Amino acid sequence: MRHSTGRIRSGLAALVLAAVTVLVAAAPAQAALPSGCALYPSAPYSSGGRIYYSATATCGTSNPVISRVEAGLQRSGTLVANVIQTSGGTTTLRASGSSGCSAGTYRTYAWANDKNTNATEGATAYKSLSC
């Protein structure tokens, strides 16, 4: 009797341990950028046969923690070009790029990270661009 109670206890303990392991593994890897920081993707625009896109992340003058900004150009929801800027930690970081233009529906998609790997992502409105 004592033997079977012990087996039940050890079995339950293993289940709890496994559940905790799953919970820890499933925890979000990243939180949002800290308060006071912001990500500003800029709407893409066309000029001279190219489409220009950019994104800026800021964290206020006294909080130089922005470490990475990526701006991506989406065409009909698919990433067709991207550009990345990195820093050891700064208050404002901008990534801008251009891509060959063919008429379609575009938007800028952006990612920003701080030094602690906190991250925020977002997008501009969709734009119907001709070239």
Partner 1 sequence: MAARRARRGRTPWATGCGLAALLLLGGCTQAGEMAEPAPGPSYSAGPITEAEYLSIVRAVHTCMADEGYDVEEVERRTDGVTYGFQFSGSGTGDGSSSGQQDLVACEERYGLMAAEIAFQDQVALSGAEREAVYAQLVECLDGAGVTGITSSSTAADVGRAIEQLDRAGVDVTDATTCWNQYATQLFGSSG
CA atoms within 13 A on the CB side of 110: 29
User: Whose Cβ is closer to partner 1: residue 64's or residue 121's?
Assistant: 121
For residue 49, the 8-state DSSP code is: T
| Contact flag: residue 30 with partner 1 (CB under 8 A) | yes
Residues 84 to 123: which contact partner 1 by CB under 8 A?
A: 94, 96, 98, 105, 109, 118-123
Could you tell me if 42 and 54 are in contact, meaning their C-beta atoms sit under 8 angstroms apart?
Answer: yes
Residues 60 to 89: which contact partner 1 by CB under 8 A?
A: 72, 74, 76-79
| Residues in the chain, overall count | 131
Q: What span, in angstroms and rounded, lies between the C-alpha atoms of 45 and 27?
A: 38
For residue 35, the 8-state DSSP code is: T
| Contact flag: residue 19 with partner 1 (CB under 8 A) | yes
* Least distance to partner 1, CB of residue 2, Å: 25
Tell me the one-letter amino acid at 89.
G
Distance in angstroms between the alpha carbons of the first and the last residue of the chain: 81
Q: What span, in angstroms and rounded, lies between the C-alpha atoms of 86 and 93?
A: 8
Q: Binding residue for partner 1 (CB under 8 A) from 4, 5, 48, 61?
A: 48
| Contact flag: residue 124 with partner 1 (CB under 8 A) | yes
Kindly list the residues in this chain that would bind partner 1 in the complex (CB under 8 A): 15, 18-19, 21-23, 25-33, 35-40, 42-43, 45-48, 50, 52, 54, 56, 72, 74, 76-79, 94, 96, 98, 105, 109, 118-130
